[in-house]
A and B are shown apart, each in its own frame.
Chain A
Amino acid sequence: MSIRILYFARLREDMGVPGEMFEPPARVDDVRSLRAQLVARGGASAAALGQGKAVRVSVNQDLAHDDTPVKSGDEVAFFPPVTGG
Chain B
Amino acid sequence: MTVRVQREDFDIGAEIAAFRRADPGIGAIASFIGLVRDVNEGDAITGMTLEHYPGMTEKALAGIVAEAKSRWDIVDALVIHRVGELKPLDQIVLVVVTGAHRGAAFAACEFIMDYLKTQAPFWKKELTAQGARWVEARASDDQAAERWSEPQAK
A binding-site residues for B, Cβ under 8 Å:
6, 8-10, 54, 58, 61-63, 77, 79-85
Known: A8-B123, A84-B123. A79 touches B59 (CB 8 A): no
Query: DSSP majority for the B interface?
Result: mixed
Among B12-20, B21-29, B65-73, B113-121, which stretch is in contact with chain A? B113-121
CA gap between A42 and B136 in the complex, in Å: 25
**In the assembled complex, how far is the CB of residue A4 from the closest CB belonging to chain B, in whole angstroms?**
12
Known: A82-B118, A84-B81. A9 touches B56 (CB 8 A): no
CA gap between A54 and B137 in the complex, in Å: 10
Asked if B56 contacts A82 (CB within 8 A), the reply is: no
Q: Give the contacts of B82-115 with A (CB-CB under 8 A).
A: 92-93, 113
Asked if A84 contacts B52 (CB within 8 A), the reply is: yes
Known: A61-B59, A62-B59. A81 touches B117 (CB 8 A): no
Neighbouring B residues of A62 by C-beta, 8 Å: 56, 59
Given contacts A8-B51, A9-B125, A83-B136, 17 further A-B contacts (CB under 8 A): A10-B123, A61-B56, A62-B56, A77-B53, A79-B121, A79-B123, A80-B137, A82-B120, A82-B137, A83-B134, A83-B135, A84-B81, A84-B116, A84-B124, A85-B116, A85-B117, A85-B122
B binding-site residues for A, Cβ under 8 Å:
34, 50-53, 55-56, 59-60, 81, 92-93, 113, 116-125, 134-137
Known: A8-B53, A9-B125, A85-B93. A63 touches B119 (CB 8 A): yes
Known: A58-B56, A85-B92, A85-B113. A80 touches B119 (CB 8 A): no
CA gap between A80 and B137 in the complex, in Å: 8
Asked if A9 contacts B137 (CB within 8 A), the reply is: no
CA gap between A8 and B52 in the complex, in Å: 8
Among A61, A79, A81, A83, max chain B CB count under 10 A is at A83
Neighbouring B residues of A84 by C-beta, 8 Å: 50, 52, 81, 92-93, 116-117, 120-124
